[in-house]
A and B are shown apart, each in its own frame.
Chain A
Amino acid sequence: MTKDVVVSGVGMVTPLGTGKEDFAGNLFTGRSGIQPITAFDTSRFASKLGAAVTDFNPKDFISIRNRRRMDRLSLMTTASARMALDDAGVAITTLNRDRIGIILGVTYGSTDVAARFMGALFTEGPNLVSPILVPNTVMNAPAGHASIELGFRGINSTVNHHEVSAETAIAYAAAEIQKGRADVMLAGGADIFSAFFFEILTHFKALSPMDGQEEGARPFDVRRNGPVVGEGAGVLCLESREHALARGAIPYCEIGGWGLSSSPAPPTDWPSDPKGPVLAIQRALAAAGLLADQVDYVSASANGGRKLDGLEADALSRVFGAQPKQPLISSIKGALGESFSSGGIRAAAMALSIRDSILPPTLGLKTPLQPLNFVMERRMNAPVVNGLLNGFSSGGTFASMVMKRMDGSTGLDGVVR
C-alpha cells in the first residue's frame, strides 16, 4: 500500500521576493523580476537582463556559525528549506530528525565558487588552492548545508539533470513518502547565475536576444528570442496525508502522480518530435487516474526559447487539443526568467494557485505561437482542482506532475489556509 503525498509547506527565495506571501503577491499581480543586471558589468554583451534575487537577507534564516561556511546557493536553499518547514509547522527534534530528509535539484551549482576555485588552480597553481573553497564546489553542498543548519538526518540526495532537476527531485521525494521511507521530505531546486556563467551563456547565444531584436522573456510568443537568465531557490515540504492530518496541518494540495520520460535528442539540444514530453504528460495523467479533460491548469516549462516553447506547445496540443474543454496554460518564466532548477519555485507557485484560485500571467506573451488556451499577460481567477506542472530539459528529459486540490481545504469553495 502506498501513501498519499501532500504538500504541507513552501519556501522560496526568488527575484519576486522571499517567502510565500511576497512571492505570491508579486507573482499574481503580474510584477516582473527581470531587470538590467547590476551585479556585474554587462556592457560587452548582447544580453543585459536577468532575474536576480535582491530581496534576501540570510541573517533572517541562518545561524551565524553556519552562514559563514555557505555560499549564495546554499544560503538561498537553506533559507527556503527553513521556510518550508516553518510553513508546514514541522519542528525538527531528536525524535523525528532521522525520518526527515531532502532531495534537491541543482543544475549548474555554485558557478561563482567554482570559478574562484579554478581561478586559483589555473593562475596560482594547485598548491595555492584554498581548501575552504572545496566544499561549496560540489553539487550536493546546498542539501548538505541545509541538513547541518536545520538538523535533519534522513534521506539526502541531489539530482543534477539540467532544467528538470527539481521536478525529478520532487518526484523522487514524493516516492519516498509513498513508500514510508521518510515521514517528511523537503524537495525542490536551486540555482544561481554568476558573471562567469552569464558570459559563457551569452557567448553561446543561449540567451535572449538570440536574433538581435529586443531583449526579453516571451514564453510561447511568436517573437520569443531566447530565455532571460534567472536564479532562486524553491523548496516544498512533503509528507503523507495521514502524517499531515495527524498533526493538524492543512496541506495546500496533494501530489496526484507523475510521469518521467526521455527523448533521443542530441545532448544539450531539443528533440523536434513531441513524443517524449507527450509520454511524460500521459504517464502523469495515468498515474493520477485523470483523463486529459480533467486538467484545469498547466504550469508550463516554456521560457522563451525557440525550440523548447515550440516543443511544449506541440506536446500540449497533442494531449489536450482534441477535447472540448482545454486547460489554461501559463509560464511564470516570463516573470522569473530561466532559473534552471526552477521546479521547486514553480511547484510552490502551483500550490499557491491551488490555494488562492489565481492563475499567474505569462508575462511577455502577446501573440501566441499556437491557438492554445493561454493565460496571457493578465492573471486569471479560476479554481484549480487538477494542476499539471511540466519540467522539460534540453538533452530530452521530461517530468510532468499532477498537483491536486484536496477537497474542503483550499480554494474558492471554502477554507482559506
Chain B
Amino acid sequence: MGNGRVVITGIGSINAIARNAAEFSTALKAGRCGIGPVTVFDTAAFPTQTGGEVKAFSPQEQIPSPFYGKRMSRADAMAMAATLEALRDADLFPMPDDLREDTGVVIGGGAGGMLEGEMAYQRYLCGHVDAVRFSDFSAFCGASSADHIVSKLQLWGPKATFMTACSSGATAIGYARDLIRDGMANVMIAGGTEPLARTTYAAFNALKAVDPEYCKPFDRNRQGMSLGEGAGIMILESLAHALGRGAHIHGEILGYGVSCDANHMTAPDPEASGAARCMQMALADAGVEVAAVDYINAHGTATPANDRMETIGIKRVFGDRAYHIPVSSTKSMIGHTLGAAGAIEAVASVLAIAQGFIPPTVHSAVPDPECDLDYVTEGAREAALNIVLSNSFAFGGNNTSLVLGRYTPRGIGHD
C-alpha cells in the first residue's frame, strides 16, 4: 500500500523571523527580513557585524524540562525545540510507545556545536586545557543534536548525522525518506540545525563572501551572503502509516538528487554542471517532468558566483520554461543557515504548498542581466503549488535538490 510513498505529517522551525512554523509562514508572506546585528558573540573585530540571528531564544524556558538538557549546545536546543514542534504538529507528542522502535532521527549540520566547541579551542590555546568543559568538547562531533533527540524521546530507530556544509539539511531529509522507503523505519524525524558561531563567521568573512549589510540575492549589486542560524525539522512517515493513524498530511517528499561538482572546494562550477545534474537527478527520482515544477526555492546565497551559476543551472535543466517558473531565495529573509538551510527551506516549501503562496526574494532591487529569471522580488504571491524544487549547494561541490509535492490520495499528477 502506498507504493513507497513518504509523506510529511509535521513541521517545525526556528529561525531569524520565526519561533515556529506558523510565525514562519506569516513572516514569509509579509517578506519580513530578520537580518540585523549579531549579538550571540562579539563581532567588533570582524569585518562584518550582521546576520540572521534567532531572537530571544531561551532553551530552558522554551523546551519542557524533560526534553531540555544542560549539556545541549545552541544548535542542539534549536533542533530539539523544532523537533517538539514538529511532533506536536504531527500529533505524535507524546510519542506513542509502540512507535519508538520504528522511529529514527537524521540531522544535517554545519558548525554543529562549534559555538560552544570554540570555547574548548580557545581555552586550549590559552594553555588552560583543564578549563575545557566536557560539554564544549562533546559538541565537536555533529552527532550531538541527533543523540539528544533520540535520548530525550527514547527512540530505537536508525540515527545519522550529515555534514556536507550547506547541503546537509536537504541530504538528511532525502536520506530519511530513503530509510522509510527501504523499510528501515516507519517514522523519521529529519532536518537540520545550525548556530551562528565565530568559526563559520570568520571563515566566510575570510573568503570575502559576506555582505556587510544584508544579502541581496540575484541583485546586480549583491556582495555576498548573510549568515544565519536556526533549525528546520520534518516528521516523515510512510503513506500507509500516516493514513493508518489518520494523520493530517502536509505534503509529500517526491524525490531528491545528490551530485558533486568535482571542480573546486569552495567556488561553484561556473558552468553549473553539478547543480544541473543534481536537479535532474531529483526530478528523475521523483518521476516529475520539468513542465510540472511550479516553484523553485533557490539556494540563492547572494554571492556573485552562486546566483549566476544557479541561474545558468536552472536554464540548463528547464530550458525556455526557466523564464516562467518563479524562483526565490528565502535566505534574503533569514540569511544562510548553512547546515540547516536545506531543511528550513524544505519547511518553507511545504508551507508554500500547503498555504498556496510563493515566498519573495526581498532586497533584490537592481536587475542583473546575468540573473534574468522571475525572482519574485515584488513580494509574496498567491499561487496554487503542486510541485516545488528546493536547491542546496555546498562547499566541496556537494549539491542536493529536493522535490516536494502537494499530497493527493493517488499521487500528484495521477488524480
Binding site for B on A (CB under 8 A): 69, 97-98, 101-102, 106-108, 114-115, 117-119, 121-123, 125-127, 129-131, 134-135, 137-141, 143-145, 147-148, 150-162, 168, 172, 175, 179, 181, 196, 199-200, 203-204, 260-268, 275-276, 279, 283, 393, 395-397
Contacts and interface: CB of A to CB of B under 8 A. Distances in A.
Contacts of A275: 156
Minimum-distance CB pairs A-B, first 9? A144-B396, A156-B260, A260-B158, A160-B163, A139-B163, A395-B147, A135-B265, A267-B147, A147-B262
Contacts of A393: 143
A78 to B, nearest CB: 12
A27 to B, nearest CB: 27
Nearest to A98: B277
B130 interface: yes
B397 interface: yes
A203 B199 contact: no
Interface in B208-253: 208
B395 A266 contact: no
B105 interface: yes
B125 A156 contact: no
A200 B124 contact: yes
A199 B129 contact: yes
Contact of A148 (B122, B152, B205, B265): B265
Contacts of B138: 267-268
Given A138-B165, A144-B260, A160 B397 contact: no
A150 B263 CA distance: 11
B47 A148 contact: no
B151 A265 contact: yes
Nearest to A275: B156
Given A121-B199, A395-B144, A156 B258 contact: yes
B396 A172 contact: no
A118 B126 CA distance: 12
B150 A140 contact: no
Interface residues of B, number: 81
Given A157-B171, A203-B130, A127 B147 contact: no
A152 B141 contact: no
B265 A153 contact: no
B178 A115 contact: no
B395 A262 contact: no
Contact of B182 (A137, A175, A395): A175
A206 to B, nearest CB: 9
B398 A140 contact: yes
Given A148-B265, A268-B138, A260 B151 contact: no
A69 B267 CA distance: 14
B259 A134 contact: no
A106 B178 contact: no
A147 B175 CA distance: 21
A141 B396 contact: yes
Contacts of A98: 259, 277
Contacts of A265: 147, 151
Contacts of A106: 163
B376 interface: no
Interface string B143-160: 110111011111111111
A31 B314 CA distance: 55
Given A127-B47, A155-B260, A267 B144 contact: yes
Given A144-B395, A157-B162, A152 B260 contact: yes
A156 B132 CA distance: 35
B260 A134 contact: no
A396 B100 CA distance: 14
B366 interface: no
B381 interface: no
Nearest to A393: B143
Nearest to B207: A131
A137 B140 CA distance: 12
Contacts of A196: 121, 124
B156 A129 contact: no
A204 B134 contact: yes
A134 B205 CA distance: 10
Given A126-B205, A131-B206, 13 more contacts: A117-B199, A123-B125, A127-B46, A129-B202, A140-B398, A153-B260, A157-B171, A160-B112, A172-B175, A260-B159, A267-B138, A267-B147, A268-B138
A144 B259 contact: no
The CB with the most chain B CB atoms within 10 A, among A117, A134, A145, A396, is that of A134
Contacts of A138: 110, 163, 165, 395-396
A264 B155 contact: yes
B273 to A, nearest CB: 7
A166 B207 CA distance: 30
Contacts of B157: 260-262
Interface string B182-212: 1010000000000000110111011110000
Contacts of B132: 200, 203
A282 to B, nearest CB: 11
Contacts of B281: 181
Given A144-B396, A148-B265, A155-B259, A126 B151 contact: no
Nearest to A199: B129
